[in-house]
């Protein structure tokens, strides 16, 4: 019997490993589902990889555009600074009677405001000086000549003055 028992055990093992036809069908269906899930996951990964590559390319383009814009902004700021400096020099040259260090500003508007303020001050001072000059008006030329007072003169000076008057007539 030991041989029969061995055969029975082997038969049971083969049945368990081979399985029933229903079990095989279920395993095959499960395997197919897992293959479909794997294919879907691979497709999703491929789509994501493509999208990542697209986004990285877009990022590179935007980064280059940003760098270009930053360089252009720097050039524009430098050109603006030069223009404001030239405008300040021009404003000082056009207002030469005004001391150059009085006209200041970091922008064109500030320079214009400074020039306007300085002109207003200069006009105010000019008007004040004109008013002061009108108040203390002195006739032009030398005062009229009158007769020389002979009382304070010595006899010699009196004779010289008389001779001078006689020669003028």
Coarse DSSP helix, strand, coil percentages of the chain, rounded to the nearest 5 percent:
80, 0, 20
What tokens does 131 get? Answer: 């008013």
Does 148 map to a domain?
A: no
Does 75 map to a domain?
A: yes
Segment 78-96 mean pLDDT: 93
In the chain, the number of structural domains is 1
Does 156 map to a domain?
A: no
Does 141 map to a domain?
A: no
What tokens does 138 get? Answer: 């002195």
Segment 80-92 mean pLDDT: 94
Output the pLDDT for position 150.
74
Does 146 map to a domain?
A: no
pLDDT above 90 coverage of the chain, percent: 50
State the pTM of this model: 0.50
Does 3 map to a domain?
A: no
Output the pLDDT for position 136.
72
Output the pLDDT for position 133.
79
How many whole angstroms separate alpha carbon 4 and alpha carbon 14? 15
pLDDT of 11 higher than 90: no
Segment 46-74 mean pLDDT: 96
Place 141 in a pLDDT band, splitting at 50, 70 and 90. Answer: low
Output the pLDDT for position 146.
66
Does 90 map to a domain?
A: yes
How many whole angstroms separate alpha carbon 134 and alpha carbon 126? 12
Q: Is 118 exposed, middle or buried (0-12, 13-18, 19+ CB in 10 A)?
A: middle
What tokens does 112 get? Answer: 């214009």
What tokens does 45 get? Answer: 């990964």
pLDDT of 13 higher than 60: no
CB 78 within 8 Å of CB 86? no
User: What is the residue whose two structure tokens read 């049971």?
Assistant: 12
User: Which carries the bigger pLDDT value, residue 169 or residue 96?
Assistant: 96
pLDDT of 14 higher than 60: no
Output the pLDDT for position 84.
95
Does 105 map to a domain?
A: yes
How many whole angstroms separate alpha carbon 53 and alpha carbon 127? 76
Range of the domain at 82: 12-132
For helices 21-94 and 108-135, the axis angle rounded to 10 degrees is 20
């Amino acid at each position: 019997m030991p041989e029969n028992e061995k055969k029975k055990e082997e038969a049971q093992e083969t049945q368990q490993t081979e399985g029933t036809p229903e079990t095989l069908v279920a395993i095959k269906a499960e395997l197919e589902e897992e293959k479909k899930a794997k294919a879907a996951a691979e497709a999703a990964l491929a789509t994501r990889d493509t999208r990542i590559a697209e986004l990285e390319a877009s990022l590179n383009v935007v980064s280059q555009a940003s760098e270009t814009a930053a360089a252009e902004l720097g050039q524009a700021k430098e050109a603006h600074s030069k223009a404001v400096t030239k405008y300040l020099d021009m404003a000082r040259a056009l207002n030469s009677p005004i001391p150059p260090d009085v006209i200041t500003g970091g922008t064109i508007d500030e320079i214009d405001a400074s020039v306007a303020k300085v002109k207003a001050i200069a006009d105010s001072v000019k008007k004040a000086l004109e008013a002061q000059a009108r108040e203390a008006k002195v006739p032009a030329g030398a005062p009229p000549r009158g007769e020389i007072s002979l009382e304070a003169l010595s006899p010699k000076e009196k004779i010289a003055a008389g001779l001078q008057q006689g020669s003028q007539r």
